[in-house]
Structure 1
Amino acid sequence: MTPRTEHRPQMTVEEFEELERHAPETVRLEFIDGRVVVKPVPDGDHSEIVAWLQRVCMQHRPELWLHAERGLKTERYRKGRARPDGVLVPVGGLKGHGEWSATDGALMAVEVTSYDADAGRRDRVEKPEGYAAAGIPVYLLIDRDDASVVVFNQPENGRYRHEEKLPFGATVKLPDPVNLTLDTEPLKEFAD
């Protein structure tokens, strides 16, 4: 097991934010579990999946909006910085926010796996822990590696107490406060 860097981060949050401000547009940086992580730039299928989810949310919950690539303060004490592929908030919920928003109004964080070596650990372990610790009620993982959708909910003590994994094509119920049912049949075209 890899030792956690929680008590010895690579840098301070302020140093990370300064580094991230000066990173080239082709690189997206996150500060996860005390270390700098390079998040891959999404491919076309990745972007299409996020666009599909935005359309579904808009059709069924027009009072909410799924923002793509929104910077969030995550983890305990807001010490992490993540850019989920999507964050669902009430319309106008980010008004007045800077580049990194508190997660208070976030109803759901969404990640779509990328094809890189760190995707498994980042999206399946570190992100759920960070989002749960920040109190985001629902975390939706669209996992292209095994053509599945994983719904995490009921955050408590830095972990999601409930997790449900279903294959692409299944009907997926997103619990309170999202209250949305997804027909994931369209995701099958993105499975390898």
Structure 2
Amino acid sequence: MPVPEYGTENDEFEYKNPAMSVEEAFDVFSAAAPDGWRVELIEGEIHVTPPANGEHEEIVSELSGQVRDHRKDLGRYTGIGLFVPGASMTGKIVPDLVVAPKGSFCDRQEYHDPSPVLLVAEVTSDSTAGNDRVKKIRGYARAGIPVYLLIDREAEQAVLCTEPVGEDYEQKVPYGLSKIIPLPEPLGFELDTGEF
């Protein structure tokens, strides 16, 4: 219930709601998060994730390296925030890896329009697997990101999601880890998951 504020003009009560919006709470959590912690706003819910373990980071590094080896014209970004549509006014997500043309994010903003993004990749962890497998598929599809690559460590597979339509991807093809994944255009090269 709103709390009255006393002493206003004409002795009328002015009510102020002490609760904050989810976006305001997100900003508070983001500002307070220690280095390495990730704070995301996914479908109206705030998710706080601890720093990733070494295996997780090795996979992200290998993905990034293979993109660099095949497509020197593309930027590989870790720690870049994207606005992704969802149940709240804004979805704010920090994918494990974002691939976009170089120079796509040369401003000082923390979160960016996802329109130049060609691929996002997520590597599951115990604390993020549910979001990576369900909510992020919906968000990335709604944002029109052409390729979502999910490296699901627990299931020991990589899922290549392409052709976003509405809240889903028309194509979701699972590959066992250690297999070769043909990435479609606009990427157009094969990804070797044998190094994961």
Give the alignment's TM-score, normalised by structure 1.
0.85
- One-letter identity of the residue aligned with 2:95: P
Which residue of the partner structure matches residue 85 of structure 2?
75
Which residue of the partner structure matches residue 30 of structure 1?
40
Match of 1:140 among 149, 159, 162: 149
Unaligned runs of 5+ in 2: 1-19
Q: Distance in 1 between matches of 2:108 and 2:117?
A: 13
Structure number, greater radius of gyration: 2
**DSSP 3-state at the match of 2:109:** coil
**DSSP 3-state at the match of 1:62:** coil
Q: Distance in 2 between matches of 1:97 and 1:162?
A: 35
Q: Distance in 2 between matches of 1:57 and 1:125?
A: 25
Q: Distance in 1 between matches of 2:64 and 2:119?
A: 12
Match of 1:110 among 107, 121, 129: 121
- One-letter identity of the residue aligned with 2:55: D
Match of 1:157 among 158, 166, 173: 166
**DSSP 3-state at the match of 1:38:** strand
Whether 1:176 aligns to 2:180 is no
**Counterparts of residues 45-64 of structure 1 (less than 5 Å):** 45-64=55-74
**DSSP 3-state at the match of 2:129:** helix
Count of residue pairs brought into register by the alignment:
176
Structure 1 residues 61 and 115: CA distance shift in structure 2, 3 A:
same
Q: Distance in 2 between matches of 1:96 and 1:120?
A: 31
Q: Distance in 2 between matches of 1:73 and 1:41?
A: 21
2:129–2:152 Cα contact (<8 Å) kept? no
Percent identity of equivalent pairs: 34
- One-letter identity of the residue aligned with 1:162: Q
- One-letter identity of the residue aligned with 1:180: F
Give deviations 1:15-66, integer Å, cap 9, x for gaps.
4234312322242110001010112311111111111111100010000021
Give deviations 1:92-122, integer Å, cap 9, x for gaps.
1111250001101111111001133xx3321
Which residue of the partner structure matches residue 23 of structure 2?
13
**DSSP 3-state at the match of 2:116:** coil
Which residue of the partner structure matches residue 7 of structure 1?
none
- One-letter identity of the residue aligned with 1:141: L
Q: Distance in 1 between matches of 2:167 and 2:99?
A: 20
- One-letter identity of the residue aligned with 2:194: E
Structure 1: which 4+ aligned runs deviate by more than 6 Å? none
1:27–1:38 Cα contact (<8 Å) kept? yes
